[in-house]
Amino acid sequence: MGRDKALIQVDGTAMAARVAQVLRSVGADPVVAIGGDTAALTDLGLSVVPDDAPGQGPLAAIATALRHFGPQPVLVAPCDLVAPTTSAFLALRDSADDAEVRIAAAAEVA
């Protein structure tokens, strides 16, 4: 792609900021980016954890998040959702119960 897709603007807002806003609205705290352009993501108000395996894709970034946050619950979301919705993330959060892992198979499109 040649550039950080997290920073691509949709309706004047970077995709990563759109996703972070929805995550915060459902109670996710903290909202952290794994890897990427640290300065630009910080400017968006995100904390950034360096990716343990940069360039190795989303699965490696998920592993970084799990290592960084240890045994506490972790909600992982892609940074490039064009239209993230509160209802989709509430459904995912509310489905977790006591399960160790939940996977979102599809994103809700507005």
Please give the full DSSP string across 18-45, using - where no structure is assigned: HHHHHHHHTT--S-EEESS-HHHHHHTT
Regions of the chain where pLDDT drops below 70 = 1, 96-110
Instruction: Give the pLDDT confidence score for residue 38 in this predicted structure.
Output: 94
Q: Which two tokens stand for residue 100?
A: 């160790």
Q: What is the pLDDT of residues 20-51, one digit of tens each?
A: 999 999 888 889 999 999 999 999 999 999 99
Instruction: Give the pLDDT confidence score for residue 8 in this predicted structure.
Output: 93
Q: What is the pTM of this model?
A: 0.82
Instruction: Give the pLDDT confidence score for residue 70 in this predicted structure.
Output: 78
